[in-house]
Structure 1
């Protein structure tokens, strides 16, 4: 058997195996589209299965029988019993022998979706086009690759065709849909996820299918049909799904508004804009209207909407309808008020009050208007919506009280969102809620001061957010039992007191946020499934657990408590740990020496404890670490040279320890480093010269303020191996800038800083500092630096704070400092600087209360703002002639020399030509050819010299 035949047979095995698998789960139910699988054909499938002599994966295994069911006079069968395994089919399956009983001209394979059977590189089989009796074909979710075979156009009897690949979007394509026009019997067409970006006439092709009832072209990379379709022949179409395509253009001009038979119209993520057309009122059969997200739909619902008496769902989330919500909802057809089930108007820029007559829509199950600018109270009529399951009112300016009268009849409600409003929820302490919530979003509502009884009898709830809800009470014991199946619990930013239970029985928790409360005692025994635990800013006073048993824990945030003792060795067992924040506690001793490669930690914050020992050696294996903070501890010893191996490091803070030795030159290998703080240690030696390699501090072609992390707790696939987004845990870090320590939290991601102050550094300030154009803060004060201040420092346009005080710097202050238009703090005091103090618009605005303080302690300086005037012999700034500027002077002299020499030689030639006629004639013959070239040379040379001279004089 050749390769092509083997591939064909293998694909047929896949399809038929899928049919066997599907039939064992449920018999085909497609009779509404004229489809049925006759018993003889199912017998053929089973006969084919028996003909496969070798099946090592047992993919075709079934112990079932064919059962007959009557449906409209057509018998259909289903093999029952264990189904084919849905595991990957990339393993070898011998082709074996095919029974002669398989008659492909009468085969009607009811291939069901949901089977990942294709495998990489398996094309959709073209031989299916020879099965001319097919009326039903479903190849969706079989993970095929490549082109949809145009041979499918031979299946003239086909009534149902599904080649959708939503789960594998884009890997199946079609560049020509003309074959579809031959499927005149087609009633159901689903090509969702198939790349049709090159098919410009797609609308005209589907318009050739007059029997089509369902058309799904979602996520097909479609654009507007070219030429545009002006009239639709789809006179029986009931469902049209065109979501997630780019139809950028006015909504009202689309071709489908004239299809009066449509029951469902889905157009989300289509980049449409403009108002809804009046012709919408002609679609009187419409039940579902979905136009949410990435559509800039504006204005009021058209008056013709009143004709849609069958309307059940209206979804316009994240559009731009605007207007008063009462006026908009009054345009919904009153004849459909008893049929409407879902009204979703989230984030549509609406204002006004929720209409009082909302309770008249008695069949409403989903009412969502969050993220608008609604105000006023929630009407009591809401309590009449007994079928309501989803209520989203969050992120509005609603006021007033939500009482038991609002909630008493909402027995079916499972999702309640009142978050970030001004609503106060008032229910009695003995009140029993009639509903069983799955999700409760009540952040920033007023639920307290007592613990809310709203959560009684809510076992099964999986998401709770009652942060900043005014709760000033202990957590009752019943609460822990009620939320034992929740995966997300946030009770942060309240005044909850008392102690946490020693052991929590919850088994499903993934995130528990209790930060910013008044909790005391110890950390409970951690839950095995928990991934994030935040109990920061409380009053916990017991040591850390000696035995961490939370293998999935990714973030442990306990800063600003009173936790004593040492960091236990068991912390090394948390191999999923990415974030550890134990700052501002009472921890002592050395950090545990975890095994090499045992931790994948990316953020380690230990500031303000009493930890000791040398630089933690276990960090050498933490190559994914981006944020390391050991500030205000008792660490000592030298910084290791392997610090350069921590290639992902962005923020590196070692301030206020007892580190000594030199700054290893390897630190400049950290290309991502944007924040370096080694201040207040005993570090000596010189500043590494290769500062230019710190590429994160010298960004090119971008605003340096936009560089840096998206927050130290945001990990991406590039840094952590998988997408894991951790919000900022509100840990404020103090940054020494502008002469004082200022708290930074989320804004730290924009800080580009070098602080080496209060050490024993010697030598010159490297000129390479001029390459760090992203620097916002540079502090080298209280060292023993010598030499001149490099004039290149004037290039640092983003610099806001420069402190070089208390060193032994000499020479003049470079005039280039006047170029630093962002500078808000300058301190050059107590050095050996001399000469005239430069001036400039920005420099003259600094320290207006005491400007002399910036220069005090430099006896050789003169001029404003110091009292000693400069003598007439003092070199004026603006024309600096000193070693630092010799480069540009030499370059200018060289250029002038070339020009003068050229002109002198040219005049000598002219003088010779006056006395030699033959030379004169030869010269003018060449002159025409050389004139233009010489002219361009002179002009360009002059322009280059003038530009460089101007730039140098301005610095």
Structure 2
């Protein structure tokens, strides 16, 4: 292949020839232009035969060549490459700058250098091309320009596409754009443009008469200041894209209602807040409105009933609310035009209404809301529907063939995570051929649905947790050729797996975990990317895994099976492997040295096997490792110092219950990101390093989860995003608990059950976010650090079975989160500090310290008043008095309840009693009045006489 410079030169020769061509009539193409094309052809590698027609006399008939009907001169050359060839071309041009002499073509009107992967500075000499009508530089991710002033010389420009050109320093870009009076199409997407500065804003458009119709400002860093410039084009804009601007927040201005020519408005992927403006109802020409992935809230404005031309409404991933039937009623005006409706991941409530009026609907996304009720059978009348996604709601009832009766074009069906039961006849034949079927947590079983065998185009199949207790029939494997995402986990599927190496054609996600599958692991597809066979009954060796010889494999989980034998030695072929989980099996032998070739590995779970030997030094090459769990094996030797220096990203290190010996190296303190360190249950000796305060991740609050995200790209150009949330068994309060969704919050140091000596380093009290600290069952001496009270987040503290001396620090009583405390079996003395926290623990937390005294221990401290004296202290008396006081107040409360509600409650509930009661009160009142009057009269007469 010729050099890039020669290729460009020959192509420019061709352009110059075309530009300087004379007038007149010629039969066929001009010979010198034909020769220029042939020289151009010879400089290319044409593996796909795109230029195979370039061998006849008349070059105007060649593929991609267009000639003038009047002069026969070549006026256009258009040679789009297929995707695979484009990849090679893309690589071959990497790092090349745009030649400055391109600016010498002063008569050129249309210049497109898109997708050529040019890099370097955009030459300002392009401003010399004053006759340009269109300039297209999109998808050149290495280009940059610090100043767009040269644009102001392109007076005739109507089309400008700078998508992906780095304009992060071109702060006065708007002033240059303002001078383009004829600009119709402007694409500045993904240009890293900053917010408009005050000087830029003060210079409003010099010529606001530009007929700008298409404007793409997506994927930049604009904030709300962009509106001041934008609203100068309210009368002309037809297409406006403000999506994915990281700093665009606040409410949406009502001024958008003045853009009455808009047909396409995209504002998704921002930080917009507040409600959807009523003013949107003024944009009656809107065909597509996309506001998804913001923080919008409230109900859908009633003014949207004016949008009768709406074809697509995308509001997913917000906090919008309201009754779904009312929302759809607002869209009734567009029921003949609406094709795509995205309302998923909001807070809409109510039932799914009758949608039969929306006859044009092609995609309906209602997942992740709060919908209830049943699915109406009328949905089966939406004959154009291609996507039906109502997953993750609270729908219930049965799904019959009537629900899917006329959906012949259906391509994606997602009814997952509801309370739905499929009730199809065994002879039912679906009218559709699905690409994606997601029925997680629907009731499909106990047999695999027979109608599945008709689906020959499946690419994504998820029927996990669907109550299937079948043996996988042979016909099922005939469906898998096109599948790239395959999930039948969390069922009761039994039997063995056949050789599936030839059953799948694509890099695969396979999840068959949590079933009752048994036998050996079969030969698997060579293009496997994600394999989860955990929680089954597989047995035997895993040597057949070595047939998966590719760089796609990123996730392998075979945990909780009956697998045995030594680990194979084919790890170097899995360069992309990120998560490896082989825990809870019966593997034996040493950890292979070839593990060191796993350059992408981040998580390594090998706990609870029969592995022996030392940690291979090759693991130091795994720089990305953040999670190592080798607990409950028979590993031995020293814990290598290189763990601290070579694995800087290590977050969790669990080597518990092995046979490691030797001292804890000072180098371990280099693990600044460590959050869980468990070396318990070994034969470690020596002192605890004083540098534990270098564990800086234990001094800060962490995120909830430890998550890895993966993007897998397929040969057909598609890709799939997957994520994995790590989990770990943590010994907590004497038991093991699994943490997953809150694992990132667990900060723990456990060095228990070793042979450590020396004092507890006071530096450990600098780990302010420490949640669990366990130094028990060692030979530690000295006192408990007086600064222990700094650990305000501490929930578990176990220092038992050591040789600690001295008093319990008073600061310990200040840790109000402490729920588990064990200081037993030491030589602590003195009085247990006063405070409700330390007195709330059981006496067993302090036992085995002969000279320790004070509650909750029964032993009195010297100086306490003797029993029997007038004010003698008695802990039991306090408890008894507290009990008596409690029953006294309980009796008062019960008396009030019985007395008050026994009378008043009866009168409230019984009309006749209430009437009799008040009659009785009236009679008493009258009797008292008459009696008092008579007696007063008698007394008066007596006094007068």
TM-score (norm 2): 0.78
The residue matched to 1:133 in structure 2 has which SS? coil
| Aligned pair partner of 2:817 in 814, 819, 822 | 822
Asked if 1:452 corresponds to 2:449, the answer is: yes
Contact 1:732 1:743 in 2 (8 A): yes
Q: Does the C-alpha gap of structure 1 residues 841 and 829 become closer, same or farther in structure 2, counting only changes over 3 Å?
A: same
State the partner residue of 1:177: 174
Rounded Cα–Cα distance in structure 1 between residues aligned with 2:708 and 2:306 = 52
State the partner residue of 1:309: 308
Alignment of 1:789-868 (within 5 A): 789-846=784-841, 851-868=842-859
Rounded Cα–Cα distance in structure 1 between residues aligned with 2:12 and 2:493 = 59
Asked if 1:240 corresponds to 2:235, the answer is: no
What do the CA deviations read for 1:872-914 (whole angstroms, capped 9, x no partner)?
Answer: 399xxxxxxxxxxxxxxxxxxxxxxxxxxxxxxxxxxxxxxxx
What do the CA deviations read for 1:127-170 (whole angstroms, capped 9, x no partner)?
Answer: 44343333333232234311463343344433x312231x4565
Contact 2:585 2:609 in 1 (8 A): yes
Q: Does the C-alpha gap of structure 1 residues 146 and 604 become closer, same or farther in structure 2, counting only changes over 3 Å?
A: same
State the partner residue of 1:918: none
State the partner residue of 1:533: 531
Quote the offset at 1:512 in angstroms. Answer: 0.9
Contact 1:53 1:96 in 2 (8 A): no
The residue matched to 2:471 in structure 1 has which SS? coil
Q: Does the C-alpha gap of structure 1 residues 107 and 828 become closer, same or farther in structure 2, counting only changes over 3 Å?
A: closer
Asked if 1:684 corresponds to 2:685, the answer is: yes
Rounded Cα–Cα distance in structure 2 between residues aligned with 1:203 and 1:290 = 31
Quote the offset at 1:281 in angstroms. Answer: 3.9
State the partner residue of 1:567: 567
Q: Does the C-alpha gap of structure 1 residues 435 and 873 become closer, same or farther in structure 2, counting only changes over 3 Å?
A: closer
The residue matched to 2:580 in structure 1 has which SS? strand
What do the CA deviations read for 1:777-834 (whole angstroms, capped 9, x no partner)?
Answer: 2222222222222222222222211222222222222222212222111112122222
The residue matched to 2:494 in structure 1 has which SS? coil
Asked if 1:494 corresponds to 2:491, the answer is: yes
Rounded Cα–Cα distance in structure 1 between residues aligned with 2:397 and 2:420 = 5
Contact 1:219 1:243 in 2 (8 A): yes
Asked if 1:783 corresponds to 2:781, the answer is: no
State the partner residue of 2:399: 402
What do the CA deviations read for 1:511-541 (whole angstroms, capped 9, x no partner)?
Answer: 2111111111111213222122111111112
Alignment of 1:583-594 (within 5 A): 583-594=583-594
Q: Does the C-alpha gap of structure 1 residues 659 and 447 become closer, same or farther in structure 2, counting only changes over 3 Å?
A: same
| Aligned pair partner of 2:519 in 505, 518, 521 | 521
| Aligned pair partner of 1:79 in 61, 77, 89 | 77
State the partner residue of 1:140: 138
Contact 1:217 1:241 in 2 (8 A): yes
The residue matched to 1:456 in structure 2 has which SS? helix
Rounded Cα–Cα distance in structure 1 between residues aligned with 2:71 and 2:351 = 57
Q: Does the C-alpha gap of structure 1 residues 136 and 71 become closer, same or farther in structure 2, counting only changes over 3 Å?
A: farther
Q: Does the C-alpha gap of structure 1 residues 148 and 370 become closer, same or farther in structure 2, counting only changes over 3 Å?
A: farther
Alignment of 1:407-556 (within 5 A): 407-505=404-502, 506-545=504-543, 548-550=546-548, 551-552=550-551, 553-556=553-556
Higher alpha-carbon deviation: 747-756 or 393-402: 747-756
Q: Does the C-alpha gap of structure 1 residues 204 and 462 become closer, same or farther in structure 2, counting only changes over 3 Å?
A: farther
Contact 2:564 2:585 in 1 (8 A): yes
Contact 2:707 2:724 in 1 (8 A): no
| Aligned pair partner of 1:337 in 320, 331, 335 | 335
Root mean square deviation, CA, Å: 4.1
Asked if 1:187 corresponds to 2:184, the answer is: yes
State the partner residue of 1:662: 663
State the partner residue of 1:911: none
Quote the offset at 1:274 in angstroms. Answer: 4.3
What do the CA deviations read for 1:318-361 (whole angstroms, capped 9, x no partner)?
Answer: 33442111111111143x322221122222321111111x0221
Quote the offset at 1:49 in angstroms. Answer: 10
| Aligned pair partner of 2:760 in 765, 771, 793 | 765
Rounded Cα–Cα distance in structure 2 between residues aligned with 1:741 and 1:678 = 15
Contact 1:269 1:295 in 2 (8 A): no
Contact 2:66 2:77 in 1 (8 A): no
What do the CA deviations read for 1:479-510 (whole angstroms, capped 9, x no partner)?
Answer: 22212222221222111211111333213132
Asked if 1:751 corresponds to 2:752, the answer is: no
User: How many pairs align?
Assistant: 820
Quote the offset at 1:279 in angstroms. Answer: 4.4
Quote the offset at 1:96 in angstroms. Answer: 13
State the partner residue of 1:289: 289
Q: Does the C-alpha gap of structure 1 residues 261 and 613 become closer, same or farther in structure 2, counting only changes over 3 Å?
A: closer
TM-score (norm 1): 0.77
Rounded Cα–Cα distance in structure 1 between residues aligned with 2:397 and 2:565 = 48
**Please, which runs of 5 or more residues in structure 2 have no aligned partner?**
19-23, 712-719, 866-945
Q: Does the C-alpha gap of structure 1 residues 135 and 787 become closer, same or farther in structure 2, counting only changes over 3 Å?
A: closer
Rounded Cα–Cα distance in structure 1 between residues aligned with 2:787 and 2:568 = 49
Rounded Cα–Cα distance in structure 1 between residues aligned with 2:453 and 2:809 = 71
Higher alpha-carbon deviation: 540-549 or 53-62: 53-62
State the partner residue of 2:148: 149
Rounded Cα–Cα distance in structure 2 between residues aligned with 1:140 and 1:625 = 38
Quote the offset at 1:79 in angstroms. Answer: 3.1
**Please, which runs of 5 or more residues in structure 1 have no aligned partner?**
1-8, 24-37, 717-722, 875-955
Alignment of 1:246-285 (within 5 A): 246-254=247-255, 256-285=256-285
State the partner residue of 1:909: none
Rounded Cα–Cα distance in structure 1 between residues aligned with 2:817 and 2:399 = 51
Contact 2:324 2:349 in 1 (8 A): yes
Rounded Cα–Cα distance in structure 1 between residues aligned with 2:578 and 2:632 = 22
State the partner residue of 1:328: 327
Q: Does the C-alpha gap of structure 1 residues 240 and 333 become closer, same or farther in structure 2, counting only changes over 3 Å?
A: farther
Higher alpha-carbon deviation: 424-433 or 857-866: 424-433
Quote the offset at 1:627 in angstroms. Answer: 2.0
Quote the offset at 1:383 in angstroms. Answer: 0.7
Rounded Cα–Cα distance in structure 1 between residues aligned with 2:98 and 2:294 = 49
What do the CA deviations read for 1:270-292 (whole angstroms, capped 9, x no partner)?
Answer: 54444445544443333222222
Quote the offset at 1:557 in angstroms. Answer: 0.9
Rounded Cα–Cα distance in structure 2 between residues aligned with 1:798 and 1:480 = 53
Rounded Cα–Cα distance in structure 2 between residues aligned with 1:538 and 1:514 = 9
Contact 2:521 2:538 in 1 (8 A): yes
The residue matched to 1:243 in structure 2 has which SS? coil
Contact 1:169 1:219 in 2 (8 A): no
Q: Does the C-alpha gap of structure 1 residues 148 and 411 become closer, same or farther in structure 2, counting only changes over 3 Å?
A: farther
Q: Does the C-alpha gap of structure 1 residues 629 and 715 become closer, same or farther in structure 2, counting only changes over 3 Å?
A: farther
The residue matched to 1:843 in structure 2 has which SS? helix
The residue matched to 1:516 in structure 2 has which SS? coil
Contact 1:210 1:235 in 2 (8 A): no
The residue matched to 1:531 in structure 2 has which SS? strand
Q: Does the C-alpha gap of structure 1 residues 640 and 412 become closer, same or farther in structure 2, counting only changes over 3 Å?
A: same
State the partner residue of 2:937: none
Quote the offset at 1:252 in angstroms. Answer: 4.6
Rounded Cα–Cα distance in structure 2 between residues aligned with 1:790 and 1:838 = 15
